[in-house]
Amino acid sequence: MNQSDTAECGFRLGLPNRADGLSTSFATSYAGIMAFMAVASEGSFAKAGERLGIGRSAVSRNVQKLETQLSTRLFLRTTRMTQLTLEGQRFFENCHLGVTHIVSAMNEILELRQGPPRGLIRISSAVGFGRKVVAPLLDKFMKAYPDVAVDLLLDDRPTDFASEQIDVAFRNGRIEDSSIIAKQLVPMQMALCAAPAYVGAYGLPQTLEDLARHQCINFRLSGGRTFEWEFKVDGHVRKYLPTARLAFNDADLVLHAVLKGWGIAQLAGYQVCDHIAANELIVALPRYAPDDRGHYLCYLSRQHLPVRIRVFIDFMTDEIRALNLHCLSEFDAGSAGVSMGGLAA
């Protein structure tokens, strides 16, 4: 006897033999039980049919099938009345608790779908965007919806919605997974930046070839891959993998190193806008910044979204779009270099 045979025998031995008939025809049994409960509650096959939204004859057939399965008469029927037998009364009392639990469970799910927002939302976000943008907005969201709990996971890896039980994910860049809903919140700008102290010592690159002479700082993605810098030239995205003496797997540490004047790096607009406005960073080659990336809010399906997730999506969409995350248009591209030189594909 193999393992599966053993498991099956163990399962069947654990059940009373008389339950086997019900377990092999559960759909019929369930319909019969619901019809039986409705008749017992209403005291009439006709009224039970109205309650269930089916005809009187369908109610009668379902009850008869249940009686056949149980080999027991559950009702005494006359032309003037319908009442439970002794066995029917006992069956009703035993079933009532289970049906009450089922109805309660269904009502709870409907409340989660249609009622006031409540329950847990599991969120995933890229680390830098989660720290800088998402996390600071959570306090306002939770004050607006006090019955909603939030679990935020920061991770630069692609989101596995199923295994991690993620409801909503914030992703950056380009979304190529057609199996998810990806709602762009705002465009994602990328800026090549350096601190004034660094610019005073080394200047700014005027072409891509100049980057070989500069102290570049790399961002290492989850899994060890180095983030490639991107530029848009003549309508096409061109990638550049800098040689760097310094690399971090945390975007905030890359920003910190650039602010200290240790080198130059390509950073996301949401990280650097405030520092640029405060003259703590200088933008290089802004006219070649890529313009086809975005910050996205992702989820699996538009259908049957619980109300807590719908209000979270709407809240974050409005709040993030109201932030000043689009800053590169404020700078004069002409001051950052006139040529991309021998740019390679």
Q: What is the CATH number of the domain that holds 257?
A: 3.40.190.290
Residues 39 and 103 grouped into a single domain? yes
At 342 the pLDDT is 36
| pLDDT tens by residue, 2-59 | 444 433 333 333 444 555 544 555 655 778 888 998 898 888 899 989 888 899 999 9
Residues 212 and 331 grouped into a single domain? yes
Spatial distance between the Cα atoms of 198 and 194, rounded to a whole number of angstroms: 6
Spatial distance between the Cα atoms of 171 and 316, rounded to a whole number of angstroms: 13
At 298 the pLDDT is 95
At 114 the pLDDT is 66
HSE of 278, CA atoms in CB hemisphere, 13 A = 8
Single-letter amino acid, residue 65: K
Runs of H (alpha helix) within 26-125: 26-42, 45-52, 56-70, 86-114
Beta strands in 97-197 (DSSP E): 119-125, 148-154, 168-173, 181-187, 190-194
- CATH for 300: 3.40.190.10
Residues 93 and 158 grouped into a single domain? no
Between vectors from CA 180 to CA 174 and to CA 185, what angle results, nearest 5°? 50
- Both tokens of 165, joined, read 């039980």
> Residue 345: inside a domain, yes or no?
no
Please state the φ and ψ torsions of residue 173, each to the nearest 5 degrees.
100, -125
**What is the bridge-based pairing of β-strands 244-248 and 216-219?**
parallel
Contact 297, 170 (CB under 8 A): yes
Residues 157 and 303 grouped into a single domain? yes
- Nearest-10 Cα torsion for 26, 31, 32, 36: 140
At 174 the pLDDT is 87
Spatial distance between the Cα atoms of 231 and 283, rounded to a whole number of angstroms: 13
Q: For residue 33, what are the domain limits?
A: 3-114
Residues 127 and 148 grouped into a single domain? yes
> Residue 344: inside a domain, yes or no?
no
Residues 266 and 165 grouped into a single domain? no
> Residue 284: inside a domain, yes or no?
yes
> Residue 342: inside a domain, yes or no?
no
Cα 106 to chain centroid distance, Å, stands at: 23
Residues 174 and 314 grouped into a single domain? yes
Residues 101 and 131 grouped into a single domain? no
Contact 309, 257 (CB under 8 A): no
> Residue 343: inside a domain, yes or no?
no
Residues 17 and 92 grouped into a single domain? yes
For 185, the 3-state DSSP assignment is strand
Residues 107 and 134 grouped into a single domain? no
| pLDDT tens by residue, 149-169 | 999 999 988 888 887 889 999
> Residue 101: inside a domain, yes or no?
yes
How many domains does the chain fold into? 3
Spatial distance between the Cα atoms of 242 and 263, rounded to a whole number of angstroms: 12
Query: Which domain-ending residue is among 65, 88, 114?
Result: 114
Residues 178 and 59 grouped into a single domain? no
Contact 252, 128 (CB under 8 A): yes
> Residue 152: inside a domain, yes or no?
yes
> Residue 341: inside a domain, yes or no?
no
Spatial distance between the Cα atoms of 92 and 98, rounded to a whole number of angstroms: 10
Query: Which domain-ending residue is among 71, 93, 114?
Result: 114
Which burial class, exposed, middle or buried, applies to 260 when counting CB atoms under 10 A from its CB (0-12, 13-18, 19+)?
A: exposed
At 9 the pLDDT is 39
Q: Which residues of the chain have pLDDT under 50?
A: 1-16, 21-22, 332-345
Residues 282 and 312 grouped into a single domain? no
Residue 21 contacts by C-beta under 8 Å, 6 or more apart in sequence?
69
At 26 the pLDDT is 60
